[in-house]
Structure formats: structure tokens, C-alpha cells
């Protein structure tokens, strides 16, 4: 059974932006500011955004050539080999669930400032159940929900930023002196986390009214996010000392309370809940489609490829993502280890972008006559620049956080083992079931006229 094509450009942009626009990105934003002098965080954020635009151009070409719910799994499989593609895809899926865990921790700390009489786990479970129900009911309903939340959140962040600039008194020169090159490189590397997951909209290629909308949506989303993050981060650093912001998991709460008092606290708590909902919802939409597509190719248990007859949604994959995401969220809530996940996600994102640039080059050489509705401009320049720049940024992240490097290596080994040992068993069982089905004799029903 195929998926239903109902999504428009508006929802594609909202989904691409919504997965990245999380409460934990506020923490990452002040970490970016902490590497730089003055109030020049906007420089690193815009550089990170421009670099992600390079990657978005590569993904746009790949999606145009190979529009599929399998997304990066298909791109890297065609360009390189199935084992590499599946290993990287599963690892990335796990890291996205880790982002949800970091998000849940930040949200819990945020809510404890305003609603201490409710346990943080209550809110986490409530949001997971709500978003899961919306996704099972139908992607168009979930998409409309995503539109309202994402666009409302972006508008509110811009409004808060402009209000802070009106009230703040700071030297304009501090906006243009980021400091040394080493700090800027580290800031740009961590700044990649602000855009983590924008390309996860590509699994919706089988549910949009026109597959070309995915390419347009990614480019628009990265541009809008770059401006929004730059404004909001500078607004925070000109309103509250950076030393305070970088040492708290809820910098946005301190910022809003400093400029608006109690109303600002309530406003930012509502925005934080909205940001978490967009992350959970967009993540559930995209990751569940990846799980569905991977199970359809017999690299995950077949149960995850089941589609609802009534709603045309992959309900089994959605429930699986719900279960894993909730488990990770509870673990991070218990341990408080969220910054490692932020850096791990930034590194994983950079690795995927390196492979995206190389995949564009590889597919152009392997299949030059293939239909490509979108081609990254500049010939070899964009894919080569994407691969080189993000390779440097991967190293920068691991130098900044060695625990992130250790966890990345460990998770990569586990995923590689699964692909080498477990996936062949699943595929063999599928082949055996098909053979058995072909050998099974067909029982003819008796002709009612002979009775």
C-alpha cells in the first residue's frame, strides 16, 4: 500500500524548520556565543547557515534524482554501497533520537521554573502521546499542526529579539569582532547543531504533491532559520551576560524574564513547549518514514512496514519511534548528559553532509544521463566544498568534546555490526518466506454449479 500525496510547500518548510527549531537549540546558540568575543555570535550562525545551504543544494539534487521515503538510505546506497548507506542511516536515526533526549531534558528544566508542581516526565509523556496520535491519524493533520506551531514560534522569537534590541544598550562595535580564527571555527562547528535535521524532510518525498517541493522547502527553511537564530542569539547576549547564559540549560528563560519579567517567563515557557512539540512532531514524521522505508526493504523487521488501511500512515513505525524516543528522553532526564548529545548531533550532521557532497559527485559519474530536476550550481564546486568544509567541522567537534567522539565511534561499531550480522538474517528469512509462498499449493474453491 502506498502513502498518500497531500503535503504542500508550506508544510515542507514547517517540517524542515520544525525538526531543527528545538528548545535545545537555545542552549547550543549560547554555546556558539561562548566561543566568540563580544556579541558576534550572529557571524558564526550565518556562516553555519550558509554552509548548510551548500549541503541543502546537494540534498536537493539527490532528492530530485531519487525521490523516496528512504531518503539518505537510498542516496548513499546508490552512490556507494548498501552496507555503508544502511550503517550511516541507522546511526543517524539513533542520533536524532538522542536529540529528542537532549530536548526533553531542557524542556523539563524550563517547565520547572514555571510549573514546579507538575513532574517533568508528565509533560514529556503527554507530548509524546499527543504527537503520536496526530501522526497515526494522518500526516496531513500532523502537517497542519506542524504549520501552526512552527510559524507561530518563528514569529514569536523574532518579536522577542526586536523587543530586546529596543531595550538593550550595547556598543555596536561588539557585533563585528568575533575574536580569533580558532574560536570562530569551533563556534561554526557547534552552530551546525542549530540546523540538525533540516534534510530529514526528504523522506516525505512520497507524500508531497510535487517532489520538487522538498528541495525548495529545505532551502527556504535554512534561510529562515539562519536569520531567526542570529537575531535571537544576539538578543540574548546583549540582554544577559554570556557567563550566565553559557552555564545554564535554560538561557532562553533567563533572557525572557530579564526583559519582560513574569510575562516574559510565561511567554518563553509556552514557546519552549511549542519548540519541543515541533521537534517531536517533525522527528516522528520523518524518522518514522525512514523506519517504514527501511523495513520495506527488509533491513528492519517487516512489522515496521505496516500501513494503516484507514489513515494511510505507517502506524507500526510511528509506535516504534515513540517507544525509543520516550526511552531516550527518560534516560537523559535521569542523567542530565545533554551537551554531549548536542555535540554528537553536530558531528553526525557534518558526517552526513560530507557523504551527501561525495554522493552527488559519485552519482554524476556513475549515471550522468539520469533525470535531475534540480542540479546544484557551480559544477563540482558545491559538492566538493560541502565535503571538505564539513570534514573539517567533524574534527573540530571531536576536538571540542572527546566524549562525543567516543560515543560516535561506539555507536558506529554497533550499527556496523547490525548491518553485517543481523540484516543478512532478516533478508534471508524474507527470501525463504517468498519461496515457501510460491511452493504452497493453491486450493481451488468448488464450483457452486456442481453442487
Q: Is pLDDT of 326 > 90?
A: no
Beta-carbon-side half-sphere exposure of residue 356 (alpha carbons within 13 Å) = 32
The pLDDT-based confidence of 213 (bands split at 50, 70, 90) is confident
The average confidence (pLDDT) of the chain is 82
Q: Which of 125, 112, 126, 157 is nearest to 20 (CA)?
A: 157
Predicted confidence at residue 388, as pLDDT, reads 94
Q: 366: which DSSP letter?
A: H
Rounded to an integer, the average pLDDT of 198-220 is 78
Which fold does the domain 9-430 belong to in CATH?
Amino acid/polyamine transporter I (1.20.1740)
Q: Specify whether the CB–CB gap between 107 and 350 falls below 8 A.
A: no
CA distance 246 to 425: 48
Predicted confidence at residue 268, as pLDDT, reads 84
Predicted confidence at residue 282, as pLDDT, reads 65
The pLDDT-based confidence of 308 (bands split at 50, 70, 90) is confident
Rounded to an integer, the average pLDDT of 236-257 is 87
Q: Is pLDDT of 439 > 60?
A: yes
CA distance 217 to 199: 10
81-85, 408-412, 447-451: the lowest-pLDDT one? 447-451
Q: Is pLDDT of 385 > 90?
A: yes
Q: Which of 354, 387, 361, 389 is nearest to 375 (CA)?
A: 361
Q: 3: which DSSP letter?
A: P
Burial grade of 366 (CB within 10 A; 0-12, 13-18, 19 or more): exposed
Radius of gyration of the chain (CA): 23
> In terms of residues, how long is the chain?
451
- From residue 104, how far is each of 23, 74, 126, 267, 352 by CA, in Å? 9, 30, 12, 19, 24
Q: Is pLDDT of 409 > 90?
A: yes
Rounded to an integer, the average pLDDT of 198-219 is 77
Beta bridge mates, 7: 208
Burial grade of 285 (CB within 10 A; 0-12, 13-18, 19 or more): buried
Rounded to an integer, the average pLDDT of 3-7 is 60
CA distance 238 to 278: 27
Rounded to an integer, the average pLDDT of 342-348 is 84
CA distance 6 to 279: 21
CA distance 386 to 128: 35
Q: Which residue has the higher pLDDT, 100 or 191?
A: 191
* Start-end of H helices in 177-261: 181-191, 212-239, 242-245, 251-260
The pLDDT-based confidence of 444 (bands split at 50, 70, 90) is low
Rounded to an integer, the average pLDDT of 221-226 is 93
CA distance 278 to 421: 36
In degrees and rounded to multiples of 5, residue 118 shows phi and psi of: -105, 130
Q: Is pLDDT of 391 > 90?
A: yes
Predicted confidence at residue 16, as pLDDT, reads 82
Q: Is pLDDT of 448 > 60?
A: no
Of 127-131, 171-175, 309-313, 379-383, the range with the highest mean pLDDT is: 379-383
Predicted confidence at residue 283, as pLDDT, reads 67
Rounded to an integer, the average pLDDT of 354-363 is 95
Predicted confidence at residue 449, as pLDDT, reads 52
SS (H, E, C) 237-256: HHHCCHHHHCCCCCHHHHHH
- From residue 407, how far is each of 88, 326, 339, 410 by CA, in Å? 14, 20, 13, 5
Q: Which of 439, 311, 317, 412 is nearest to 3 (CA)?
A: 311
Predicted confidence at residue 410, as pLDDT, reads 93
In degrees and rounded to multiples of 5, residue 208 shows phi and psi of: -95, 155
Residues with Cβ within 8 Å of 374's Cβ and at least 6 positions away in sequence, in order, are 60, 61, 63, 64, 212, 215
Predicted confidence at residue 141, as pLDDT, reads 47
Domain boundaries, the chain: 9-430
CA distance 294 to 303: 11
Beta bridge mates, 149: none
CA distance 254 to 260: 10
Rounded to an integer, the average pLDDT of 190-207 is 78
Amino acid at each position: 500500500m502506498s502513502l498518500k500525496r497531500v503535503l504542500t510547500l508550506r508544510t515542507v518548510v514547517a517540517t524542515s524548520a520544525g525538526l531543527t527549531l528545538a528548545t535545545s537549540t537555545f542552549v547550543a546558540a549560547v554555546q556558539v556565543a561562548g566561543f566568540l568575543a563580544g556579541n558576534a555570535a550572529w557571524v558564526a550562525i550565518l556562516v553555519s547557515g550558509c554552509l548548510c545551504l551548500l549541503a541543502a543544494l546537494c540534498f536537493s539534487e539527490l532528492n530530485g534524482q531519487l525521490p523516496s521515503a528512504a531518503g539518505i538510505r537510498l542516496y548513499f546506497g546508490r552512490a556507494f554501497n548498501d552496507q555503508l548507506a544502511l550503517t550511516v542511516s541507522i546511526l543517524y536515526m539513533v542520533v536524532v533520537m538522542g536529540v529528542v533526549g537532549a530536548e526533553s531534558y531542557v524542556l523539563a528544566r524550563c517547565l520547572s521554573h514555571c510549573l514546579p508542581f507538575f513532574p517533568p516526565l508528565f509533560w514529556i509523556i503527554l507530548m509524546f502521546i499527543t504527537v503520536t496520535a496526530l501522526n497515526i491519524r494522518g500526516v496531513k493533520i500532523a502537517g497542519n499542526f506542524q504549520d501552526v506551531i512552527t510559524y507561530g514560534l518563528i514569529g514569536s522569537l523574532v518579536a522577542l529579539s526586536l523587543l530586546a534590541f529596543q531595550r538593550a544598550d550595547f556598543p555596536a562595535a561588539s557585533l563585528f569582532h568575533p575574536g580569533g580564527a580558532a574560536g570562530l571555527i569551533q563556534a561554526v562547528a557547534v552552530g551546525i547543531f542549530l540546523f540538525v535535521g533540516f534534510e530529514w524532510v526528504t523522506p516525505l518525498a512520497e507524500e508531497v504533491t510535487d517532489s520538487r517541493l522538498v528541495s525548495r522547502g529545505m532551502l527556504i527553511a535554512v534561510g529562515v532559520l539562519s536569520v531567526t537564530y542570529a537575531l535571537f542569539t544576539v538578543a540574548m547576549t546583549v540582554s544577559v551576560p554570556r557567563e550566565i547564559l553559557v552555564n545554564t540549560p535554560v538561557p532562553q528563560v533567563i533572557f525572557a524574564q530579564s526583559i519582560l519579567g513574569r510575562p516574559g517567563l510565561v511567554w518563553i515557557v509556552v514557546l519552549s513547549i511549542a519548540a519541543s512539540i515541533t521537534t517531536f512532531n517533525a522527528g516522528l514524521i520523518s524518522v518514522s518514514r525512514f523506519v517504514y522505508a527501511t523495513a520495506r526493504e527488509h533491513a528492519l523487521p517487516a512489522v515496521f512496514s505496516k500501513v494503516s488501511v484507514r489513515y494511510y500512515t505507517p502506524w507500526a513505525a510511528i509506535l516504534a519511534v515513540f517507544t525509543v524516543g520516550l526511552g531516550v528522553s527518560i534516560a537523559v532526564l535521569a542523567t542530565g548528559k545533554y551537551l554531549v548529545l548536542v555535540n554528537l548531533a553536530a558531528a553526525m550532521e557534518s558526517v552526513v553532509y560530507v557523504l551527501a557532497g561525495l554522493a552527488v559527485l559519485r552519482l554524476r559519474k556513475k549515471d550522468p544521463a539520469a533525470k535531475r530536476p534540480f542540479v546544484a550550481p557551480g559544477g563540482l564546486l558545491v559538492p566538493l566544498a560541502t565535503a571538505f568544509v564539513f570534514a573539517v567541522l567533524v574534527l573540530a567537534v571531536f576536538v571540542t568534546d572527546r566524549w562525543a567522539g567516543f560515543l560516535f565511534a561506539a555507536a558506529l561499531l554497533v550499527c556496523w555490526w547490525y548491518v553485517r550480522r543481523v540484516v543478512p538474517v532478516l533478508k534471508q528469512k524474507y527470501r525463504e518466506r517468498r519461496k515457501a509462498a510460491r511452493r504452497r499449493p493453491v486450493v481451488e474453491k468448488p464450483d457452486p454449479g456442481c453442487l
